[in-house]
């Protein structure tokens, strides 16, 4: 049996994931949890986005990495 299991639905696990990950980070170490699972995949095609992987969050993460 697994020690952990997924909780909740696909839409709303970001805070749970962040809190879980925080248990493994030293208290004085700055860190962040960037959850992109929801917007990372488009299930319907719209003018602003094609069907499939969107790359949501990638540019934001790259800009932040360039700044540190």
pLDDT of residue 12: 60
Q: Give the torsion sign (CA, 37, 42, 46, 47).
A: positive
Quick: pLDDT tens for 19-46.
888 999 999 999 988 877 667 778 888 8
The answer to whether the CB of 33 falls within 8 A of the CB of 21 is yes
pLDDT of residue 1: 43
The answer to whether the CB of 35 falls within 8 A of the CB of 21 is no
In this prediction, residues 60-66 reach a mean pLDDT of 90
Alpha-helical runs (H) found in the chain: 14-22, 58-67
pLDDT of residue 8: 60
pLDDT of residue 52: 85
pLDDT of residue 36: 73
């Amino acid at each position: 049996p697994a020690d952990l299991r997924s909780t909740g639905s696909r839409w709303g696990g970001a805070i749970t994931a962040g809190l879980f990950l925080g248990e493994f980070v030293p208290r004085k170490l700055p860190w962040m949890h960037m959850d992109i699972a929801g917007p990372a995949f488009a299930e319907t095609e719209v003018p602003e986005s094609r069907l499939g992987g969107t790359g949501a969050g990638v540019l934001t993460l790259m800009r932040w990495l360039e700044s540190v």
